[in-house]
């Protein structure tokens, strides 16, 4: 017990991982963060809302408006930034995604940072409003469509950044094109891993398509990240994981600690021209061989467009 007491601060420091040290200011910038009513999304919004005397306009895009309004009110009170705005967005429904994008484009003339943060984990088998398996539909296809709908506004506002929150779990994923929606075989843990691999492959292919004269001159980038093992509501669909999370909370990152790499990818000056990369603890991290498979990334892009009924060349 004495040794544990002495070692505790060092253990916590190790668990906390890297911190974003950038002091970049975001005056006049417009930011969208999906799922920012709780967890690392909320902490990311809190940080970005207080960067600069005349701070960024931070749009919290969430399904649960009541929780989002409570989070926004707390952030406004703490930071003094009255431009923390809540907008309705249900990533499990493409109609909601399209309505969100339509309203945003009508109301906002610029968009500088898009953080695709929202996600579901360990859900019992279910489908989105459009018939997609829930993990794939929310974690990948929902953000794929949202990014597609907002891409031109991001280009017009460049320099701009797209930040996709993936996970170390992508190492356990594979893109099962023969059974994308888990109708033949479903495992909730693997379904999450598959969707997080999709995040990495989407980022890789998006960055490849953005490369060229425009991207180099304008600083338009797309990167993915692993936030770490964070004590949050993400495991709420699993009683066992919720129980384990509570027991081992000392060895998990706090939401604030887990948000650091998202913040880093959104603001760090040294990433102005870095794109298509994967980060953890505010530094480049190893990507699984499946996450570096360009042919799978291209095929996933094509299949995603088909499923969503869009053309994205």
pLDDT value at residue 252: 79
Long-range contacts of 292-298 (CB under 8 A, 24+ apart): 292/204, 293/201, 294/204, 294/205, 294/208, 296/175, 296/201, 297/201, 297/202, 297/204, 297/205, 297/208, 298/205
Q: Is 60 left (phi over 0), alpha (psi -120 to 50) or beta?
A: beta
The CATH number given to whatever domain includes residue 85 is: 3.40.50.720
The pair phi, psi for residue 87, each rounded to 5°, is -135, 145
pTM, full prediction: 0.92
**Residue of 5, 3, 52 lying closest to 24 (CA atoms):** 52
Range of the domain at 156: 1-308
What are 240-249's pLDDT values in tens digits?
656 565 665 6
pLDDT value at residue 250: 57
In a domain, 278, yes or no: yes
**Residue of 164, 239, 250, 147 lying closest to 203 (CA atoms):** 164
CA separation for the pair 273, 143 (Å, rounded): 22
In a domain, 249, yes or no: yes
In a domain, 313, yes or no: no
Q: Is 217 exposed, middle or buried (0-12, 13-18, 19+ CB in 10 A)?
A: exposed
Does the bond joining 53 to the residue before it have cis omega, within 30 degrees of 0? no
In a domain, 219, yes or no: yes
CA separation for the pair 21, 23 (Å, rounded): 6
In a domain, 11, yes or no: yes
For 1-5, 58-62, 191-195, which range has the lowest pLDDT when averaged over its residues? 1-5
Residue with the two structure tokens 């190492």? 171
**Residue of 205, 229, 219 lying closest to 280 (CA atoms):** 229
What are 11-49's pLDDT values in tens digits?
656 667 889 999 999 999 999 999 999 999 999 999 999
In a domain, 291, yes or no: yes
Q: For the chain, what is the domain count?
A: 1
CA separation for the pair 112, 162 (Å, rounded): 9
Catalytic residue among 10, 14, 125, 192: 192
- Active-site residue 192, yes or no? yes
């Amino acid at each position: 017990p004495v040794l544990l007491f002495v070692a505790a601060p060092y253990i916590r420091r190790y668990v906390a991982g890297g911190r974003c040290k950038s002091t970049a200011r975001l005056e006049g910038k417009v930011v969208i963060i999906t799922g920012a009513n709780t967890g690392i999304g909320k902490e990311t919004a809190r940080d970005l809302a207080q960067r600069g005397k005349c701070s960024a306009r931070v749009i919290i895009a969430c399904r649960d408006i009541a929780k989002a309004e409570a989070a926004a009110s707390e952030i406004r009170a703490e930071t003094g930034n009255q431009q923390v705005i809540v907008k309705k967005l249900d990533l499990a429904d493409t109609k909601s995604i399209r309505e969100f994008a339509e309203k945003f484009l009508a109301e906002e003339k610029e968009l500088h940072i898009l953080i695709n943060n929202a996600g579901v984990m360990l859900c019992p088998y279910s489908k989105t409003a459009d018939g997609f398996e829930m993990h794939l539909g929310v974690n990948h296809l929902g953000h794929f469509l949202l990014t597609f709908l907002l891409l031109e506004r991001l280009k017009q506002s460049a320099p701009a950044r797209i930040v996709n929150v993936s996970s170390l779990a992508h190492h356990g994923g594979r893109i099962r094109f023969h059974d994308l929606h888990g109708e033949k075989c479903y495992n909730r843990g693997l379904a999450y891993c598959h969707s997080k691999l999709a995040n990495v492959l989407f980022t890789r292919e998006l960055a490849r398509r953005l490369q060229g004269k425009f991207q180099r001159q304008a600083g338009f980038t797309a990167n993915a990240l692993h936030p770490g093992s964070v004590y949050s509501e993400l495991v709420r669909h699993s009683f066992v994981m919720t129980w384990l999370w509570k027991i081992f909370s000392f060895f998990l990152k706090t939401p604030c600690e887990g948000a650091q790499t998202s913040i880093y990818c959104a603001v760090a000056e040294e990433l102005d021209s870095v794109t298509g990369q994967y980060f953890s603890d505010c530094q480049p991290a190893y990507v699984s061989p499946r996450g570096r498979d360009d042919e799978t990334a291209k095929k996933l892009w094509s299949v995603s467009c088909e499923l969503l009924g869009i053309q994205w060349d």
